[in-house]
Structure 1
Amino acid sequence: MASSEATNASLAYQYGGNHKGGWLAYLPEEWLPYVQLARLSPPVGLFLVFIPHAFGILHAAIRNQSAPLDVARASGLLFAASFFYSNAVHIWNDLIDAPIDSKVQRTRKRPIPRRAVSPRAAFLFAASQALVTGSFLFFMEGNLVENCLYAVPGIISWTYYPYAKLHTFWTQAVLGFALSWGVVMGSISLGLRPVAYKAGQVDFATIVLFTASICWTMIYDSVYAYQDLADDLQIGVGSMAVLFRYQIKPIFWSLVAVITVCLGILGRWEEMSPVYYILVPGGTTLWLGLMVTNVNLADSGSCWWWFSNGFWGVGGFIVVGLLLEYLRIIRFWN
């Protein structure tokens, strides 16, 4: 019995949307369900959304040799936008997923399944966050209409994502597209258009970075999905974990190879320095290799640890590598 309670307590902290500790203890009780809906503690969701934007910002800064103040402005703008965007998509996901969440041990005490927030209130909360997110498009560099057009694929993919598990096993690919669209939005925030509609041109360096981000998401979110594998099999929803069960590691290794090649192509295309190759393709491949080798997919605690650390490790290597390359390009050290 004690072991079962410990397991349940552990699951509550594995991004289940029902955290209560830390600074949340100081909030009015009626605020708590809304903070839980938005995944503000721990703030993993915010960085899941922002980090791909940071990839795009830094890549565009390298290409355009952007001024540091412009990079700082774009980063601050998209970090703030990511806060509201993360709120909106997490609330939307919980709203659509509520009937499924009520049947899953890790998520059954989220605010909507436990009836702490009504579906109507959740929808209005999500809509308010989405509207605030949209307002940031007015402050981005470039033409407003074009910026809005660039945002559409991300909006569509996020809207569809909570339904994906009902239609396909490749839900992690859908999530990868939705999250990685941040690479595109980060790029346009500094004037790098991945697709020049009028000229009919595609920026292939941005596309390979976008592809690497999708594959990375597919790995870490699949590891995350194994926490709920038994429940998902019983309920009948789709994921890569459900499709491949415990034979997924060869798929992971294939995705690692694609990521390494894409990041290598990016370096070659942009004529990056050796530091980039050591940190970005090298560090990313090493960290993902450790993750794929060591994660115990049958152990929820191991899945949570490697999901969290796999995200921060790879995201950190790519951001730091691109940042150092940008500083080299603008001769920051001279």
Structure 2
Amino acid sequence: MNGAATRVADATGNWVDTRAPQWSRPYLRLSRLDRPIGSWLLLLPCWWSAALAARMAHSIGQLPLVLALFFVGAFAMRGAGCTWNDITDRDLDAKVERTRSRPIPAGQVSVRQAFAFLVAQALIGLAVLLQFNRFAVLTGIASLAIVVVYPFMKRITWWPQIVLGLAFSWGALMGFAVTLGRLDAAALALYAGSIAWVVGYDTIYAHQDAEDDALIGVKSTARLFGARTKPALTVCYALAAVLIGVALGLAGAGLPAWIGLAAFTAHLVWQIGRLEIGDAALCLRIFKSSRDAGLLLFAGLLADAVMATV
């Protein structure tokens, strides 16, 4: 099998393509380890909530371990979710230029092999989840219903990004469940703010496929908003900033957290100003920069948690 010929169209030149053993490459691509940005975007709400909950608990003793476990769990479960998405979308992926080279439509792995790999990744996620308290375990398991239905949403609603937001923002609840053993108003506000953020950045991402999606009948907020994307993003990102601010206020956050939120918001404003929806490569770069926005907020929350305990 020729490595260059089997690369995924928008993920060339990475370590999977150049260094991973040949036999492992289709599986690493199924789990998107050649494109880890999605894992980071799944992880960041987990880290936000862990830091904010530690601040509320006035204790950071367990925070390093919680952050590390969330890191492993996010990468494993994002891999499992992407593998499930590729199984359910294999026929659609074959019709889209950017996705037809994915392992299943390209014939690199069978559906049966992909499903076995999905189970293996899910078991890693479960092993991480079982390190936490019972309430956190049940909270984590509850997210699976959203993950299962998400791939089908683009077929029936113009708003699949909201369902993605429900799934990708679940970590905003997990830090509170793990650290405090409960979900209070601050957790729910952080969750809602993260959902608005996800709708925004995934709309940018979806503009890469808008033309192909129109041809095959796939729905998205990118197609729904069209030329009105920038005003729509302004609403989404404003909601994200306000709701996350509500979470900080409810949690009694200090100045470093608010500075982090200001930097996060400034980055979102920059994204809107820079965006050109007809430039697919630019859309991808701006989408990937969402990790930087999330890390700015996390840095502020982490600094606040540390300063609140010294």
The structure-2 alpha-carbon separation of the partners of 1:191 and 1:80, relative to structure 1 and needing over 3 Å to count, comes to same
TM-score, normalised relative to structure 1: 0.87
Aligned partner letter, 2:137? C
Q: Tell me the residue number matched to 1:211.
A: 192
Aligned partner letter, 1:324? A
* Mean Cα deviation higher: 165-174 or 78-87: 78-87
1:43 aligns with 2:32: no
Deviation at 1:213? 0.7
CA distance in 1 between partners of 2:202 and 2:8 (Å): 16
Deviation at 1:318? 1.1
Q: Tell me the residue number matched to 2:158.
A: 169
Q: Tell me the residue number matched to 1:6.
A: none
Tell me the matched-pair count.
304
CA distance in 2 between partners of 1:264 and 1:44 (Å): 25
1:55 aligns with 2:35: no
Q: 2:302 aligns with which of 304, 316, 323?
A: 323
Deviation at 1:294? 1.4
CA distance in 1 between partners of 2:163 and 2:65 (Å): 30
For 1:175-232, what per-residue CA distance to the aligned partner results, in whole angstroms no more than 9, with x for missing partners?
11101011112222213411xxxxxxxx111111111111111111110000000000
For 1:61-84, what per-residue CA distance to the aligned partner results, in whole angstroms no more than 9, with x for missing partners?
01101233x001111122122221
Aligned partner letter, 2:51? L
Q: 1:66–1:190: 8 Å Cα contact kept in structure 2?
A: no
What aligned pairs does 1:1-334 form with structure 2 within 5 A after superposition?
Answer: 12-13=9-10, 19=12, 21-22=14-15, 24-68=17-61, 70-140=62-132, 142-143=133-134, 146-194=135-183, 203-280=184-261, 282-309=262-289, 311-331=290-310
Counterpart of 1:248 in 2: which secondary structure? Answer: helix
Deviation at 1:11? 8.5
Deviation at 1:156? 0.8
Deviation at 1:267? 2.6
Report the aligned-residue RMSD.
1.7
Counterpart of 2:219 in 1: which secondary structure? Answer: coil
Deviation at 1:152? 3.3
Deviation at 1:114? 0.6
The structure-2 alpha-carbon separation of the partners of 1:124 and 1:64, relative to structure 1 and needing over 3 Å to count, comes to same
For 1:225-273, what per-residue CA distance to the aligned partner results, in whole angstroms no more than 9, with x for missing partners?
0000000001001110111212122211111221221122223222322
For 1:280-308, what per-residue CA distance to the aligned partner results, in whole angstroms no more than 9, with x for missing partners?
1x112211111112100110011011001
Aligned partner letter, 1:273? G
TM-score, normalised relative to structure 2: 0.93
Greater RCO between the two (CA within 8 Å, min separation 6)? 2
Counterpart of 2:180 in 1: which secondary structure? Answer: coil
The structure-2 alpha-carbon separation of the partners of 1:275 and 1:186, relative to structure 1 and needing over 3 Å to count, comes to closer
The structure-2 alpha-carbon separation of the partners of 1:187 and 1:261, relative to structure 1 and needing over 3 Å to count, comes to same
Counterpart of 2:130 in 1: which secondary structure? Answer: helix
Q: Please, which runs of 5 or more residues in structure 2 have no aligned partner?
A: 1-6
Aligned partner letter, 1:162? P
The structure-2 alpha-carbon separation of the partners of 1:20 and 1:117, relative to structure 1 and needing over 3 Å to count, comes to farther
CA distance in 2 between partners of 1:117 and 1:65 (Å): 49
Q: 1:224–1:304: 8 Å Cα contact kept in structure 2?
A: yes
Deviation at 1:32? 1.0
Q: Please, which runs of 5 or more residues in structure 1 have no aligned partner?
A: 1-9, 195-202
The structure-2 alpha-carbon separation of the partners of 1:99 and 1:80, relative to structure 1 and needing over 3 Å to count, comes to same
Counterpart of 2:170 in 1: which secondary structure? Answer: helix
Q: Tell me the residue number matched to 2:4.
A: none
Aligned partner letter, 2:190? L
CA distance in 2 between partners of 1:270 and 1:93 (Å): 35
Deviation at 1:154? 1.3
Aligned partner letter, 1:91? T
CA distance in 2 between partners of 1:21 and 1:213 (Å): 29
